[in-house]
Structure 1
Amino acid sequence: MITEFLNIDAKAITIDYVLSCHACGHPYYKNQLNSFCTQCGKSPIEVQFQLSPLISKNVIDQKERSMWRYAKLLPLLHTSNRVSLGEGYTPILNMDRMADRLGLDQLLIKDESFNPTGSFKARGLSMAVSKAKELGVEACIVPTAGNAGGALSAYCAKAGMKSIVVMPTHTPEAFKKECKAFGAELILVDGLINDCANVVANIKKDNNYFDISTMKEPYRLEGKKTLGYEIAEQLNWELPDVILYPAGGGTGLIGIWKAFKEMQQMGWVKEIPTKMIAVQAENCRPLVDTFNGLQENCTTYQGAPSIANGLAVPQPFAEKMMLEVLAQSNGLALAISETEISACVKEIAATEGMLVAPEGAALLAALKLLLKNGQINSSQKILLLNTGSCYKYLDSFDF
């Protein structure tokens, strides 16, 4: 339902929402703590706003310089529960020199390294921790490849909540120290993030910790969708022709597309021309293999560690939702080698003066391959989504 108050200020609009399983549609109460759907086999629960063309862009809080400028379109019921460190509102930069090198008309990069704790995980964790606080949670636990652990630790510290982070032993030391600095309890596991998830499941049996894993609660997605709103607003409501996204758990890929669809419902954009490209590491390419028909799904996929920690997610919980985004956007998925990722970190640094995360650097290698294969062309407006800073990864590189 949409309720409009008799007020000339169009910002005085509250937008209702419901919770339901993305797969089977089973409804859930929004005033209760929810994880994932238990009715149809562990599918994600999703927030669905009741939108219409009556909602104008005036609902955006132009005075707010964070992702919370879109608070009217986020499912936090009371602003007193907002846990914010100034996340979002990151720049879109022109990669002019790289565009010239590749013969492109326009190459843009959305640089999420400007976020608190240096990555886009801040968006999802700000929203998820805020909602957890609103619902009375006192302790959160998360399996992580690195950046999500640091972000959860920071936001729980801000909220006065306990945080438990379960991380692969091989993760660079900077990520471990970051979590400890914010007061988190850090547990190290030999293996990848799926092995960490198994440890989380066992810990939860004996403790009242809320699992805030990727897509296993409804609200990290809502924070990540602000990426899509920012991209549209910063580009004057003209969406890119192509977005390349480094896909591990895929929350940002799904969130950007969710934002685009919401904006279309409200009439903020008429069409969605964007082709979504999911980029993975050759060492861990479950989505690519499923997309290419090499396996039915990722449930038994076994991956290996990658220098791009965030891409080493062998069994992404929301694989079906990622595949839906690729299908709806006429997109595709491809994988990049460790050698290419390392080379592109260095190339972007030397060409554009940016130390992007290895996950973001993988996009440059993917872009080159797509251009070579004629799958995108030089006249299109292309945007890369850099998920974070390389500074926490520096010990992994020989510059």
Structure 2
Amino acid sequence: MKTNSSLMEPTVITSLYQLKCSSCQAVYDSTQLQTFCTSCQSPIITAFELAPASPFEVIDVAERSMWRYAKFLPLLSRKHRVSLGEGLTPILELSTLGNILGLDKLWLKDESFNPTGSFKARGLSMAVSKAKELGVEACIVPTAGNAGGALSAYCAKAGIQSTVVMPKHTPEAFKKECLAFGAELILVDGLINDCAQKVASIKKERNCFDMSTMKEPYRLEGKKTLGYELAEQLNWNLPDVILYPAGGGTGLIGIWKAFQEMKRMGWITHIPTRMIAVQAENCQPLVATFKGLQPNCSNYQGKATVANGLAVPRPFAERMMLEVLAESNGSALAIAEAEIIDNLKEISTAEGLLIAPEGAALLAALKKLLKSGQVQPYEKILLLNTGSGYKYLDNFDF
């Protein structure tokens, strides 16, 4: 049987882009595997050449995943796309809580609908796709939980070996998830920074590519689809306030990157959004730096938290997160463990949603911001829930 050879050719689906350092602007070869800037040890980002265009001309509306924005994702050939249907998660109106708090508009972007139950699916879909395109055969990641599950799943789909290094105290669901996908699971005493040290040791002995948060350029690109998606879902009218649970901060940076790209293309005329970073009191390096309590997070010592994903004592992209807060006139605050638990229960009973404790911290933060007058009841407010609360049940005694 003869086939049409033209149909067998790789389909180019992306715009022109280059890799450059987010700080010193050094340019890196996009045809080769890259990690972070060798000159100043800052994250490398993907910079696109963008021109004014209608979203209806470049969004693949028939694609029911984050890959509807493939024109703005740095994958050269569709044949390397590794997708499990990530993205297009709902924006839910929290009507009961909105009425209780006296708010005109309170929304929840619910990322628990993603494959593997968290927003990590976006970043790892993109990063594993690019790793496949560049010939990677094995990946490794330090994780607080959800990134490990997502890496395991996408590597399984791609036929790439995966190794996950995770704190021993992580809830069992996260561990079993990685094992189910065939990953090698290594448990470490401590937090994600201790896991990162173990990863560094393993890399000296094995040829495996490190997928650590912001230490390669492509997880950020997957996460930025959050920004494109919520703008499209809200008919290009951005929220006044977005509360984001900030561990490594990839989504915070990615959403803001998407907003900037859309503005350059004329999809939005201005960006009214204030980005609010929320952390746990047990581990609040960004908050401490934001408030001037330390010069940076390099020596910060954190503790474990029921919101496992917030236990990131030394986020590699701290400077970029602070830039987003400054550019958006945003702020950062921390929430106590008891408040996280109480607000998780309140959301569950009021709205019928069992969200991740990281997401529950946002409701507690919103109450503080309303009380202080930093957020007004008439503003459009969006909470970004990062994942499913079902994975965290070991952390709670309901």
Q: What's the TM-score once normalised by structure 1's chain length?
A: 0.96
Give the CA deviation at 1:346: 0.4
How do residues 166-315 of structure 1 correspond to structure 2 at under 5 angstroms? 166-315=165-314
Give the CA deviation at 1:58: 1.6
Give the secondary-structure state (helix, strand or coil) at the position aligned to 1:109: strand
Specify every segment of 5 or more residues in structure 1 that has no aligned partner in the other structure, as ranges: 1-11
Q: Tell me if structure 2 keeps the 8 A contact 1:112–1:386.
A: yes
Q: Tell me if structure 1 keeps the 8 A contact 2:13–2:77.
A: no
Correspondence for 1:31: 31
State percent identity of aligned pairs: 74
Amino acid paired to 2:36: F
Alignment partners' CA distance in 1, 2:107 and 2:265: 26
Q: Tell me if structure 2 keeps the 8 A contact 1:13–1:59.
A: no
Correspondence for 2:19: 19
Give the secondary-structure state (helix, strand or coil) at the position aligned to 1:188: strand
Give the CA deviation at 1:136: 0.3
Give the CA deviation at 1:206: 1.2
CA change 1:57–1:282 in 2 (3 A) is same
Amino acid paired to 1:205: K
Q: Tell me if structure 2 keeps the 8 A contact 1:279–1:334.
A: yes
How do residues 46-195 of structure 1 correspond to structure 2 at under 5 angstroms? 46-54=45-53, 56-195=55-194
Alignment partners' CA distance in 2, 1:25 and 1:102: 45
Amino acid paired to 2:16: D
Give the CA deviation at 1:182: 0.3
Q: Tell me if structure 2 keeps the 8 A contact 1:242–1:274.
A: yes
Give the secondary-structure state (helix, strand or coil) at the position aligned to 1:278: strand
Could you report, residue by residue, the CA deviation over 1:129-181 in whole angstroms, capped at 9, with x for unpaired residues? Answer: 00000000000000000000000000000001100000000000110000000
Give the secondary-structure state (helix, strand or coil) at the position aligned to 1:258: helix
Alignment partners' CA distance in 2, 1:14 and 1:308: 36
Alignment length, in residue pairs? 388
Alignment partners' CA distance in 2, 1:320 and 1:63: 37
Q: Which moved more, 1:48-57 or 1:205-214?
A: 48-57
CA change 1:13–1:57 in 2 (3 A) is farther
Give the CA deviation at 1:14: 5.0
Give the secondary-structure state (helix, strand or coil) at the position aligned to 2:68: helix
Correspondence for 1:8: none
Q: Which runs of 4+ in 1 moved over 4 A?
A: none
Give the secondary-structure state (helix, strand or coil) at the position aligned to 1:15: coil
Give the CA deviation at 1:57: 3.5
Alignment partners' CA distance in 2, 1:201 and 1:37: 17
Correspondence for 1:373: 372
How do residues 318-337 of structure 1 correspond to structure 2 at under 5 angstroms? 318-337=317-336
Q: Tell me if structure 1 keeps the 8 A contact 2:14–2:70.
A: no
Alignment partners' CA distance in 1, 2:46 and 2:395: 38
Could you report, residue by residue, the CA deviation over 1:168-220 in whole angstroms, capped at 9, with x for unpaired residues? Answer: 00000110000000000000000000000000001001110000000000000
Give the CA deviation at 1:54: 3.9
Q: Tell me if structure 1 keeps the 8 A contact 2:13–2:76.
A: no
Alignment partners' CA distance in 1, 2:72 and 2:291: 35
Amino acid paired to 1:246: P
Q: What's the TM-score once normalised by structure 2's chain length?
A: 0.96
Amino acid paired to 1:37: C
